[in-house]
């Protein structure tokens, strides 16, 4: 685990279902994000966040100006997160998914800032998934992808499993009606496609964020390499 900068980084995605209530449009869990921020400040982190009830909601509607509305919603959500970091005097810098490149991430890190990258939408309406961004970064930095969600991990037969080695072992669970990126099955498909070992865990307890960033196995470890 490392990077071209000579430091050790952890790649953490805060799922939209964690930082918002995905079934209630434009809801934001400020208290939870504040707790997470106070944990993150103790680590070298590259942070990605999902769209939740902001971007996913707007992108799921069959109305005019979907691209504009989705961009506005994601920027609003990102701004809420940025303000919490700023309140805690933690230097961060936003990177919309439509502008994401590894070089942009490296530039932000080289200026001693924490990159905060988020899922986005392109002018043609195609969705840029935060999962793809997370896995791309983790693969580049030769580290695990950490997915903080609102569930204990991968659930099979009503039981959270600690280790998953194949997508065939997984049975679909319920996802939000606003989810436009395929839910947990698509997340797993991408993890195996990218061949990046990943941890999917319950981020509602900030202690779990600390454990995950510290390298402890909690939730479900997906062995994809």
Which domain CATH number covers 206? Answer: 3.40.1160.10
Does a structural domain hold residue 208?
A: yes
Does a structural domain hold residue 38?
A: yes
Element (H, E) at 163: strand 163-164
End-to-end CA separation in angstroms for the chain: 14
Q: Which residues of 154-182 are buried (b: 16+ CB within 10 A; e: fewer)?
A: bbeeeebbeebeeeeebeeeebbebbbbe
Does a structural domain hold residue 2?
A: no
Whole-angstrom distance, CA of residue 139 vs CA of residue 154: 22
Does a structural domain hold residue 173?
A: yes
pLDDT tens series, the chain, 225 aa = 444 444 589 999 999 989 998 778 889 999 999 999 999 998 999 999 999 888 666 666 667 788 898 999 999 999 999 999 999 999 999 999 999 999 999 999 999 999 999 999 999 989 899 999 999 999 999 999 999 999 888 877 777 789 999 877 665 444 444 344 447 888 999 999 999 999 999 999 999 999 999 999 999 999 998
Does a structural domain hold residue 159?
A: yes
Does a structural domain hold residue 3?
A: no
Range of the domain at 208: 10-222
Q: Which residues of 93-115 are buried (b: 16+ CB within 10 A; e: fewer)?
A: bbbbbeebeeeebbebbeeeebb
Query: Which positions ≥6 away from 31 have C-beta within 8 Å?
Result: none
Report the pLDDT value the prediction gives residue 56, as an integer from 0 to 100. 62
**Considering its fold, how many domains does the chain have in total?**
1
């Amino acid at each position: 685990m490392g990077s071209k900068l000579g430091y050790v980084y952890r790649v953490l995605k805060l799922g939209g279902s964690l930082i918002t209530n995905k079934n209630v449009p434009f809801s934001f869990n400020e208290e939870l994000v504040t707790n997470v921020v106070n944990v993150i400040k103790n680590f070298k982190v590259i942070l990605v966040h999902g769209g939740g009830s902001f971007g996913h909601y707007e992108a799921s509607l069959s109305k005019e100006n979907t691209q504009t509305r989705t961009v506005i919603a994601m920027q609003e959500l990102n701004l809420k997160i940025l303000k919490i970091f700023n309140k805690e005097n933690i230097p961060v810098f936003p990177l919309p998914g439509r502008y994401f490149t590894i070089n942009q991430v490296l530039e932000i890190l080289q200026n001693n800032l924490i990159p905060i990258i988020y899922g986005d939408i392109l002018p043609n309406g195609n969705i840029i998934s935060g999962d793809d961004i997370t896995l791309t970064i983790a693969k580049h930095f030769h580290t695990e992808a950490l997915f903080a969600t609102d569930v204990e991990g991968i659930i099979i037969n009503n039981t959270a499993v600690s280790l998953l080695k194949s997508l065939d072992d997984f049975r679909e669970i319920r996802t939000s009606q606003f989810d436009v990126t395929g839910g947990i099955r698509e997340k797993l498909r991408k993890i195996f496609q990218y061949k990046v070992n990943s941890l999917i865990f319950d981020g509602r307890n900030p202690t779990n964020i600390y454990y995950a960033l510290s390298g402890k196995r909690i939730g479900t470890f997906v062995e994809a390499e």
